[in-house]
Structure 1
């Protein structure tokens, strides 16, 4: 028997595809100008930013000066204001505490953490940090909470 490869001539066809992720990225700055006036408003009480848009959805930043739980920490959360589809809204975001000319506060735990979270279809849709910063370490009366938010759309397939 001869070599089986000598029986035909083969041409190799090559195909490829790629997954294209569509994203929408927005940054929103929420300035808190009089923190000293907000202290003492009570655990679970919050102030919120104006609504901003990203990825076809409405969002807000919530800041709890006395914490959302009795922990000794101020808390910060990203809130989805518009309803989420059944599949949820897939996101990556950061919440940073900025002070003095836009510098990140050294004691803010959240500033170095990028969160990946899917906001589900439910009434109170918030995700963030109950321990955003220790209240005893927040001495500035004016600061900014910056949210860098990327909404990740459903991937689509493209063929080349």
Structure 2
């Protein structure tokens, strides 16, 4: 009788993701003290919330001549999260090198509020003389691989390797190359071509405007649609989301303001998922200077999440006093009296 033979393997179940962080007005940020940091908006990879902390003048005295960065696990977790990660400049060559480095990177265990430090990311003098600093801004990319579990697997030979679905990537290329476009939008004096079928598939408003009753008698029949009350930057982000299902505000000035405008556009075109992504984003932007604007926006566009987040922020008496001293608070009294009654009811003792 011949001896039996078998084989198996151990594999890791992982989730990969990346986040771009753009530092606008770099020279203005140099006024920060050593050890003082500015945090990115939080982002999600592998079911966990993360953020990048930027130290314009280093995180401690020994690296005061450097730009420092750190990666932070932003939310509480019951057990340590195992990840691999790297941060580099957003550059085609460096991103390719980072992808290779990530494969052999060591695994780190992150607990709640723990930061992993890149204390000497780049010397400020080197940054200021580099190709990475353009128009007083630079962008970094953070790649994260979250390791969920390890499991055994069959070692059977794989004769065919099926790549992941790349439909969104292909549609994104279609949007960028403009191949086969059949409608043109005019926004603020500029034009941008698109594909009717793609837009109609993701928006009931686009569907009605380009194929339904709204088409009759308007410019859509002639292939040109005039868009009022939207900026081209916002409308282009809306279209890109329609093609790819993803949102990036990388490189945009005042990205939190752009995100609020994009929320309004998403509501206007009935793109619910995009609207919710914007809602999630602006919840991270609430502070004394922005809470009134965000609360009014949430009320006008029926955004329960941001509205509750604003109320939770204003439940702190010190923060409420700070907001009441602003001119925007008085404007909110005049424009949204019912909302202010809700707020006062929340603040008064019961």
Please tell me the TM-score bracket, short chain as reference. Answer: 0.7 to 0.9
Residues 121-155 of structure 1: per-residue CA shift (max 9 Å, x gap): 34x31103110111122222200011011111220
Question: Structure 1: which 5+ residue stretches go unaligned?
Answer: 1-9
The corresponding residue for 1:16 is 7
Question: In structure 2, how many angstroms separate the alpha carbons of the residues matched to 1:96 and 1:154?
Answer: 27
Residues 43-68 of structure 1: per-residue CA shift (max 9 Å, x gap): 11111211111111111111100110
Of Structure 1 and Structure 2, the greater helix share is in 2
The corresponding residue for 2:38 is 47
Could you tell me whether the CA contact under 8 Å between 1:73 and 1:135 is conserved in 2? yes
The corresponding residue for 1:4 is none
Asked if 1:121 is matched to 2:115, the reply is no
More deviation, 66-75/89-98: 89-98
Q: Note the C-alpha offset of 1:12.
A: 2.2
Counterparts in 2 of 1:97 and 1:104: CA distance versus 1, 3 Å? farther
The corresponding residue for 2:82 is 90
Match of 1:75 among 51, 55, 68: 68
Counterparts in 2 of 1:104 and 1:84: CA distance versus 1, 3 Å? farther
Could you tell me whether the CA contact under 8 Å between 2:73 and 2:110 is conserved in 1? no
Q: Number of aligned pairs?
A: 142
Question: In structure 1, how many angstroms separate the alpha carbons of the residues matched to 2:44 and 2:56?
Answer: 24
Could you tell me whether the CA contact under 8 Å between 2:20 and 2:140 is conserved in 1? yes
Of Structure 1 and Structure 2, the greater strand share is in 1
Using the size of structure 2 for normalisation, the TM-score is 0.37
The corresponding residue for 1:152 is 147
Could you tell me whether the CA contact under 8 Å between 1:63 and 1:75 is conserved in 2? yes
What is the DSSP-based 3-state SS (H/G/I as helix, E as strand, rest coil) of the residue aligned with 1:136?
Answer: helix
Could you tell me whether the CA contact under 8 Å between 2:73 and 2:111 is conserved in 1? no
Using the size of structure 1 for normalisation, the TM-score is 0.77
Bigger relative contact order (CA 8 A; separation at least 6): 1
Q: Note the C-alpha offset of 1:11.
A: 3.4
Asked if 1:27 is matched to 2:18, the reply is yes
Question: Structure 2: which 5+ residue stretches go unaligned?
Answer: 156-350
Question: In structure 2, how many angstroms separate the alpha carbons of the residues matched to 1:95 and 1:53?
Answer: 16
Could you say what the CA RMSD is over the residues aligned between the two structures, in angstroms? 2.5
The corresponding residue for 2:297 is none
